[in-house]
Structure 1
Amino acid sequence: MTAIHSRFSRAIRVGACAVLLGGALITVNGGPAYAQAAEIPGQLLGGWIAEDKSSHVEFEADGTYLYVQVGQQDYSEAGNFEVRQQEIQYAPDSATSQDQETAPPGPYSETWNITTRNDGTDQLVTQGSNDSWTFLEMDLSQCSSS
């Protein structure tokens, strides 16, 4: 697997969990991950992971680069959420940089949001093409004990 650079505001390593999802390896560093299966064939699974605020998420992909664009927006559910929009796009391996602000637009683009709730947890969510929220499958049996 090719290590992919992703930009998140927090980057504290406290152990790791690596799970193969939809052809991309998603590594969750620290904190518990809530799991509910909702597989989308041929795509990354949609959904959210609840984590400790001090942890972060790294993305790796086999044969592709993965880029992250960080933005700010408000989320109006009882004022409990601050949403940092993560636009994740795939580009060919021949891309010149793993550290671009954005990747070229394409059919493999997903928009993710990271929300911070007033109880101190984070959610990682992705919105499907039908504008409905779906869950991200995490097989916690594959997590390392470190």
Structure 2
Amino acid sequence: MSAQADLRGAIVAALRADAALTAVIGADRVHDGAPRGAAIPFVDLGAVETRLLAATPDEGERHIVEVLAYSRKPARGEVSAVLTAIRDVLAELGPAVGAQRLVHVSDPVMRSERQRDGRGWRGRLSVRIVTEPAA
């Protein structure tokens, strides 16, 4: 399995297990590729960009991970609470990420914006994560 796949799996598992996030959005609302018609509010893993730190993956990889949150509330309070919960989960992500070791999590950026249809909000959290092979 690739470092990116290990990282995606670890992030989704950590978000699904977080009581604070579940309290805001409900159970079974974290996806890696949200199904069509997913119940709102929900969280979806967005773009994940991976780059080598040096010449080979054995020397580590840098990932820019985007997590999206969706809400239909009239104000952005719910989506902001979801983004804060996601940021807290990612900050506490354990050192073992599949066959990878998490080295560093930094630079969280949160953004919220009204959906184009005007019926809700989309939040976006972007964070930089560095991993290296565990062995």
TM-score, normalisation: structure 1: 0.29
Higher relative CO (Cα under 8 Å, sequence separation at least 6) belongs to 1
Name the one with the larger helix percent.
Answer: 2
